[in-house]
A and B are shown apart, each in its own frame.
Chain A
Amino acid sequence: MASFTRLSAQATTAVILALAEQPATWRYGHELCQQLDLKPGRLYRALMRLADRGLLEAAWESEAPADRPPRHRYRLSGPGRVHAAKLAAGPSVPAKPARVVGGIGRRPRLEGT
Chain B
Amino acid sequence: MNRDKRIGLLGGLIAVVGAVVLAPFLWLWAVAAWLLWRAWWRQAGVRLWALDGPARLLAAATATLPADRRDWGAAMAAELAQVPVQERAARWRFATGCARAAIFPPGGTRAAVGVAGALAVTATAAAALATGAVLPARRVFAPTFVGLLGGLATLAVARSHRAGWAWPGAAITGLGLAGVAACVAFLGYYLAEFPAYHRARVTAATLVSLPPVTAAVLAVLLAGCLWLALRPPRWLLPDRHARRFGVGMAVALIAGFVLTTSRQELGDQPGSEGMVFYLLIGPILVVLTGSAAAAAVGRSFRSGLWACAWAIVLGAPLLIAAWLAEALRWYQQGQGTVLDGAGGLGVGVNLGDAVWWPLVFLALWAVPLGVVGAAVGSARARRRRAREHGDLASTT
Report A's interface with B, CB cutoff 8 A. 1, 5, 8, 28-30, 33, 39-45, 47-49, 52, 58, 68-72
Contacts and interface: CB of A to CB of B under 8 A. Distances in A.
Interface of B: 69, 71-72, 74-79, 81-83, 93-94, 96-102, 104-106, 110, 161
Contact of A30 (B69, B83, B99, B104): B83
A72 B76 CA distance: 8
Given A42-B97, A42-B101, 14 more contacts: A5-B110, A29-B76, A30-B79, A30-B82, A40-B79, A40-B101, A41-B101, A44-B76, A44-B102, A47-B72, A58-B75, A69-B77, A72-B71, A72-B74
Contact of B78 (A1, A8, A33, A72): A72
A30 B75 CA distance: 10
**DSSP class of A's interface residues: helix, strand, loop or mixed?**
helix
28 contacts: A28-B82, A30-B79, A30-B94, A39-B93, A40-B94, A40-B97, A41-B100, A43-B97, A43-B101, A44-B76, A44-B97, A45-B101, A45-B104, A48-B69, A48-B106, A48-B161, A52-B161, A58-B71, A68-B78, A69-B74, A69-B77, A69-B78, A69-B81, A71-B79, A71-B82, A72-B71, A72-B78, A72-B79
Nearest to A33: B94
Contacts of B83: 30
Contacts of A40: 76, 79, 93-94, 97-98, 101
A29 B97 contact: no
Contacts of B72: 44, 47-48, 72
B58 to A, nearest CB: 10
A17 to B, nearest CB: 19
